[in-house]
Amino acid sequence: MADKPGAPHAVDPGQSGSPKAADVAATKPANQAKEQPQMIQASLGERDRAIKILAKSIFRELKMNGYETRQIVALSSELLGLVTTNMKPDGMDGGG
């Protein structure tokens, strides 16, 4: 069977210039271990900022739609109650 132009070809593992699968597998966890904490911190920071923005947006929308401060406080209390009842006994909510 003839290969089509541009079709992928089988790579010889002993071919020079290409890393062996075992070498790639051995370095992957080490690289991930170094990058993962930075990615998690960046992600958490972005989420914290997004939560603040979301809270301000929701507050403005509620005020613009005629909700009184006491009603917004009641909504906040309901949200806190839902979060509290969903928390696990060990104090972790499982969401991060």
Q: According to the per-residue pLDDT averaged within each range, which of 18-27, 32-41, 64-73 is highest?
A: 64-73
Say if 40 falls within a structural domain. yes
Q: Read off the pTM.
A: 0.49
Tell me the pLDDT tens digit for each residue of 77-93: 999 999 999 986 755 55
User: Rounded to whole angstroms, how far apart are CA atoms 55 and 80?
Assistant: 13
CA distances to 28, 44, 53, 59 from 50, rounded to whole Å, are: 31, 10, 5, 14
In a domain, 62, yes or no: yes
Residue 54 included in any domain: yes
Asked whether residue 48 is domain-assigned, the answer is: yes
N- to C-terminal Cα separation, the chain: 53
- The verdict on residue 69 lying in a domain is yes
Within-domain flag for 28? no
Query: How many independent structural domains does the chain possess?
Result: 1
- Do residues 37 and 45 make contact, with C-beta atoms less than 8 angstroms apart? no
Domain membership of residue 24 (yes or no) is: no
Is position 64 within any domain? yes
CA dihedral defined by 16, 22, 25, 28, rounded to 10 degrees? -50
Residue matched to tokens 């991060």: 96
- The residue segments making up the domain with residue 39 are 34-86
